[in-house]
Structure 1
Amino acid sequence: MSRLADAAAERVWGLAIPEFPRALAWLAPQGRRVAVLSSEGTLAAIDTVAGDGLWRTAAHQGASALAVSPDGRIVATGGEDGMLRLWNAEDGTAIAEVRARGWVERIAWTPDSRRVACSAGRCVWLCSATGEIERVLDGHLSTIASLAWRADGAQLAVAHYGGVTLWEPELEAPRRMLERKGSILDVAWHPKGRWLAAGCQDQAVQLWNLRAAKHLYMSGYMTKLSCVAWDRDGRYLATAGGPGATVWDFAGAGPEGSRPLSLHGHENLVTALAWRPTGTAIAVGDADGRTQLWRINGKAADRRARLECGGGVAALVWSPDGEMLVVASEDGNIDGFIVRRQG
C-alpha cells in the first residue's frame, strides 16, 4: 500500500501483481495504458485511468527487458530463455520472435520505430519491426551492459567493459570505439547528439563531447553508477550513485568546473530515475520504497512531493503528457499518481 506524503501528488489507483515487476513502459504516445513485465515473465497492460488490467500474456520463462516502440504499436520483451519477442500493444497478441545466443538483457528501439536492437552476451541483434534479423553486431570486449540509439537513429551506442562501441547500421565495422578503463553500466545520448554519458562501475560519470572531440570525467560518487538520464531538452543530466541523485547543468559550455545539484532525502540506494517529459521535474526512487519529485531550475532544486510505497522502487514511468507518474515496487504493488504541474 502506498502512502502519500505531499499534496503535490495524488494517488488515484493501485493494484498488486503476484510477481516482482521488472520494468514499466508507456504503451502509446497519447494513450492511457502502461505495460508491466514481471520477473517471472508475465507481460500485462494496465488502464491508467481506472487502474485495471486490460490484457496479460506469458511472455518468457524469466524476463529481463522491456521496450515499447516510440509509435506505441509494438512491445518488445527479452528473457532468460534467450528470446526477443514482439507483441501487439493493442491486445497482447504475438507478432514475432527472435532467438538470440543467450539471455536477452537489453532492448532499444530506433526513434522511428522501424528497427529494434537487443543484446545477449557480447552480441547485438538488429531486427526489423516485424522480427526479421538484419544483422548481428559482435566483437565486443565483454557482456553488453547498455544500448542507446542516437536521437536521429544513425548510431547505436553499445556499452561494455573497456568502453563504448559506436555502430552505424549500414556499416560492416564499428564507426568508433570510445575507450574507457573498467566497466560501463549505463549509457545515454544527449537529445541533440552532442554528448554521450556513461555511468561507470568505478563510481564515476564519463562524458564524451563527440563534436568537440573531448571527454570529461566526474568522480566522487558513493557507489557504482547504474543510471544516467538526460532531461528532454538536454540541459540537465541526472545520475544515481548512492543514497541520492546528482544533476549536472549543461547550459553553455557544459558542466566542467561547476558544482552539481544534489537531491537528498534518501537513506538507501537510488534505484530509478525518470524525467518528466514536460518541463524539468524528475522522479527519484530508492530501495526503501520512497519516490521524491524535484523541480530543477537552473542552480536550484526544489522538492515538490514525497511518495512512500511498500517495497523498494523497481521502476518509474511518466505518462507522455506528464500528468501521471506510475511507480512499480518490488513487493508487486503498482500505483498511479496524478502530479500537479510545477515544471
Structure 2
Amino acid sequence: MSHDIKRGVSLYSFQNDTFLRTMSLEDCIRTCAEIGAMGIEVVGEQTFTGWPEVGMPEAEIAHWHALMERYGTTPVCHDFMLDYKRYKGRPMPFDEQVASVKRDLDFGARLGMKYIRALVSINPDVLVACAGYAEDKGLKILLEVHAPLHFDHPWIIRHAEAYEKSGSQALGFLPDMGMFVHRFPRVWKERFVRNGVPQHIADFIEKAYEDRTLSEYVLLDVQQMGGTGPSIAMAETLRHNAAFEPKRMLDFMPRIHNIHGKFYEMTEDDVEYSIPYDEIVAVLKQGGYQGHICSEYEGNRWIEDAHPVQSVEQVKRQHRMLCRLLDQPIPAALQA
C-alpha cells in the first residue's frame, strides 16, 4: 500500500545523553540524519537554554537553523508546556493561558516548525482562542492524546467537538502510541522487582494486565496479597495505561498531523516488546496518514538504575523496524 509516512525523532529520546552532556544538539541531529529520520521534534525546555523564562535564545535559534541546513533535516514540532495549575503559586487565568500558548506559537514559528504540541490537560477553549493566531503563523496546535486518555474519552471528544465548531483547521491531534500498550512492558516489571515487588505479585499484576482485569480489582487483590509500597505503585500503572485499539485513530485522521512513536524496549530483533507497531502502521496507512512518526524513547527511566542507557541504539532499532513496516530501504547507518 502506497503512503506518505515519514520518519522522525523527538530529541526527548536522547534526554539522558543531553542531560549528562554526552551528546550535543548537533550530535542528536546528526544521528537522526544518519539513520534517515529527517523530521526533528523538540521539547523547548530541554533543547533551548532558559526557554521560556528568559525568552528566545537568539544565538541558539540561529544555531538550530544552521544545523537544519547542514544535515538536511526538517523541523516538525515544538512540544510546549502549560503549567496553568501551579503558575506563580496560583492558577493561571484564561487570558494568561492564551497569551502563554501564543508565545509558544511565536517560538515554534521562529524554529520553522509546522506544529506545536499541547498537553492533553489544556482546556479546549484555550486552544480555540489561539486558533486564529496559529493560522496567521502558519502553524497547527496538536493536542497530545496520551494514556490514560484515548480517542473515546469524553475529554478528547469535547476537544474534537470544539475544534469542529471553531471551523479552524489549525487545531488537531497528536496521538501518543503509549495508548496501545498491549503487553505489560518487560522493563517496567523488572524495575518494580528491583524496587522490591515480590516476584509472585509482579507476575500477578502482569497477568492481570494481560487479562485486562479492571485496575481497581487488581489494586484490591494486591493489597490483600500483602503488597505495599512498590507493589501498589506497580498495580497503579494499570490505571494509567491500557491497550486501546489503533483503529480508533481512523475517525480522527483528518486532524492527526504528527505521531509520537512512544517505545519502552526495542528487542534485538527490532520489535517493540509491548506496543504492536505492525497494527499501528497498518492503520496509519489505511487512514492515509501523511505526517511523521517521531521516535519517543521512554525506556531510559526504567533501566537507568541497573543498566547503561543506550538511547541511540534503541532509536536505531526502532527505525529499522519502521523501515521494514513502511517499506523503506534501510540506510547504511542502520545496517547491523
TM, length-normalised to structure 2: 0.32
Q: Name the larger-Rg structure.
A: 2
Looking at both structures, which has the greater relative contact order when contacts are Cα pairs under 8 Å and sequence separation is at least 6? 2
Give the number of the structure whose residues are more often helix, by fraction: 2
